[in-house]
Amino acid sequence: MRPANEALVIIDVQNDFCPGGALAVPGGDEIVPGINALMDDFAAVILTQDWHPAGHSSFASSHAGRAPYDMTEMPYGPQVLWPDHCVIGTRGAAFHPDLRTDPADLVIRKGFRPTIDSYSAFFENDHETPTGLEGYLRARGIDTLTLVGLATDFCVNYSAVDAARLGFGVTVVERLCRAIDLSGSLAAARDGMRGAGVRLA
Ligand code: VGL
Ligand code: ZN
């Protein structure tokens, strides 16, 4: 068992990010057994859940004439337009059915504000609006995080970089992550994480 100052943070292991889902990450389901096993090593286990209202501003379908994976400009900066995914209350937004959820102490939902996307478990994409996870971790005396989940180059990446900037020790276990890899986004994410002081294991 890891010490009480460590947490396992499991990012977005949801049906829509697994094969057959609306924003399927190749091999997204392959990481479930390894993540399930790793939960037993941690006294603190946290799940995140991408959780968008219908018509969310990150969906291409909300922008006339735009296609999934196009880029757009939001007031907070560039934003990829995604297929409709992880709509609140749908099967696509549910956790993968084989993911263990009983060991989780906290489920943090993100992306529920209609006009802001939220990749990171800590801040929405304006890099200002907090999710509350930082306060939760600090209140429990947790300063060291292990991150796994989907997708390596988006939500895992943004969460890891934010955590490192906030002063947490951060390890990303790459064998328990899978990437979307839009035009070099995985390589850029790995460089960005390393540059922020994230350990890639
Ligand atoms: C994610 C794109 C849109 C992710 C979430 O979990 O990496 N990617 N929403
Ligand atoms: Zn999303």
pLDDT, residue 133, reads 98
Q: Which atom of ligand 1 is nearest to the CA of 86?
A: 9
CA of 68 to the centre of ligand 1 (A): 13
Establish whether 155 is a catalytic residue. yes
* pLDDT score at 142: 98
What atom of ligand 1 comes closest to residue 17's alpha carbon?
6
The Å distance, Cα 9 to ligand 1 centre, comes to: 15
Q: Is 160 in the pocket of ligand 1 (CB under 6 A)?
A: no
Pairing of strands 45-50, 6-11: parallel
Neighbours of ion ligand 2 (CB under 5 A): 50
Q: What is the pLDDT of residue 54?
A: 98
Interval between CA 136 and ligand 1 midpoint (Å): 22
pLDDT at 92: 98
pLDDT profile of the chain (201 residues), mean per 10 = 98 98 98 98 98 98 96 94 98 98 98 97 96 98 98 98 98 98 96 98 95
Q: Which atom of ligand 1 is nearest to the CA of 111?
A: 9
